[in-house]
Amino acid sequence: MVAEVMVPDLVCPGCRARTGDRLDVRTLDRAGDLLICACGRNYPIVDGVPIVMANPAAFLRAEIATVVERDLPPEVAAALVEDGPDDASYPRFLEHLSIYMDAHWGDRAEPPLASFGIAAIVDRIARLPRVDLAVELGCSVGRIVAELAVTADRVVGMDMQFGAVRRARHLLAGERVGYGRREVGRHYSAASAAAGDRSVPSDRMTLFCGDALDPPLLPAEFDRVVALNILDSVRSPTQLLSVVDGLCAPNGELILSSPYAWQSSVMQEQERLGSVNPATELIAILREGRGLGARYHIEDEAELPWTLRRDARSTVTYRVHYVRARKLTK
């Protein structure tokens, strides 16, 4: 049985309002398997994972299958999708889990992989100095949250993919989590992973399902704000930069990375950073504080590999632009 994760200081995104320079927020209280707000809005907690976003009803209509799905043996899951189209929601979900469980936990999986996709980023995170409070937007199945917890007293992780966050919760609680490793098409083999010494006590960790462009978090609270490989996966990269800047405490730091693999299905052309060199544009935005509440000093910058195993015959390696930047006080 996984211990219940405490959920302090989540705020209601439905009634949050800004008046001039003032931000009016209400914090959420827990009542059974709901987080409730004095404004009357309720947010469900499913398998210990809160779903907190401004319009949870719309999210649940689109993603109800991933919210109510349960852990099935790979052969059972494969049988369920055997005769359906590849682009149906459940086959896409199984593929997503296979890719990101391998990318995050392949070095701690059975059967093990020769390498895992975010090894270079994990190595960078391991060098960070100690802080009190860190948050990752787009945490997926939780490996970076686990690594952040090594040098942070408390960590927060959130992702829009409920099934990924649910597995992150079990992994970081010390459980071995089974998943289907995609071999080809809709055929999967059995695999599992365990966090081991990267488990995180529940009183040091908060995980929830939410929107990275509208996180239900108090502003200027976090010493370390992390958003890895999601700048090109949201409808507005500049809005995401505004969000991470807003969460970052004075003298805190941002850690960002992206392959800048823009897709028209995700964002419109005018939302993309720069034209030929998005990395240069991102650095300029941070240094100048363009559209942000502060300017940033670049403390680390690198080009790192990020590898995603799609199946036994297909692996994609991106070159991601990694940046760590310190928030300057006025």
> What is the rounded CA–CA span in Å between residue 247 and residue 181?
36
Question: How much is the pLDDT for 121?
Answer: 97
| Of residues 271, 208, 270, the one with CA closest to residue 234 | 271
80-125 residue pLDDT tens: 888 878 888 888 899 999 999 999 999 999 999 988 899 999 999 9
Query: What pLDDT is stored for residue 23 in this prediction?
Result: 83
- More confident site: 69 or 111: 111
pLDDT at 4: 46
Name the residue type at position 208: F
Percent of the chain with pLDDT over 90: 77
Label residue 9 by pLDDT band (50, 70, 90): confident
Q: Is the pLDDT of residue 258 over 60?
A: yes
Question: Over the Cα atoms of the chain, what is R_g?
Answer: 19
For residues 260 and 279, the answer to whether their CB atoms sit within 8 Å is yes
Distance of CA 33 to the CA centre of its chain: 22
Write out the two tokens for 321. Answer: 């632009």
Kindly tell me if the per-residue pLDDT of 1 is higher than 50.
no
Give residue for tokens 């089974």.
178
CA-to-CA distance for 125 and 255, rounded, in angstroms?
9
Q: In the predicted model, is pLDDT for residue 5 greater than 60? A: no
Band (66; pLDDT cuts 50, 70, 90):
confident
Going along the chain from its start, the domains and CATH numbers come out as 17-327 (3.40.50.150)
H/E stretch holding 135 reads strand 131-137
Q: Across all residues in the chain, what is the average pLDDT?
A: 92
pLDDT at 35 over 80: yes
SS3 state at 29? strand
Tokens 């975010």: give the residue. Answer: 118
What is the separation of C-alpha 232 from the centre of its chain, rounded to a whole number of angstroms?
A: 13
Supply φ then ψ for residue 135, to 5 degrees: -135, 140
| Each residue's pLDDT tens digit, 259-303 | 999 999 999 888 999 878 999 999 999 999 999 999 999 999 999
Q: pTM to 2 decimals?
A: 0.94
CA distance 189 to 262: 32
pLDDT of residue 136: 98
Query: Could you tell me the two tokens for 263?
Result: 């897709």
The span from the CA of 271 to the CA of 316, in Å, is 25
* CA-based max dimension of the chain: 60
CB 121 within 8 A of CB 306: yes
Q: How far is CA 90 from CA 17, 66, 143, in A?
A: 36, 8, 23
Please enumerate in sequence order all residues whose Cβ is within 8 A of that of 22, keeping only pairs 6 or more positions apart, or say none: none
Sign of the alpha-carbon torsion through 244, 53, 306, 134: positive
Q: Helices (DSSP H) in the chain: which residue ranges?
A: 56-68, 74-81, 89-105, 119-126, 143-148, 162-172, 237-247, 278-288
**Which pLDDT band holds residue 330 (cuts at 50, 70, 90)?**
low
Closest to 233 (Cα-Cα) out of 166, 103, 311, 140: 140
**158 beta partners:** 137, 208
With 90 as the cut, is the pLDDT of residue 75 above it? no
- CB of 97 closer than 8 Å to CB of 90: no
What is the per-residue pLDDT across 141-172, written as a single tens digit (0 to 9) for each? Answer: 999 999 999 999 999 999 999 999 999 999 99
In whole angstroms, give the CA distance from residue 30 to residue 34. Answer: 6
Residue carrying the six token digits 């980023």: 121
Q: 73-82, 117-126, 190-199: which has the minimum mean pLDDT? A: 73-82
Q: What is the pLDDT of residues 200-227, one digit of tens each?
A: 999 999 999 999 999 999 999 999 999 9
Give backbone dihedrals phi and psi of 215, rounded to 5 degrees, phi first: -70, 140
Give the confidence band of 177 by pLDDT, cuts at 50, 70, 90. very high
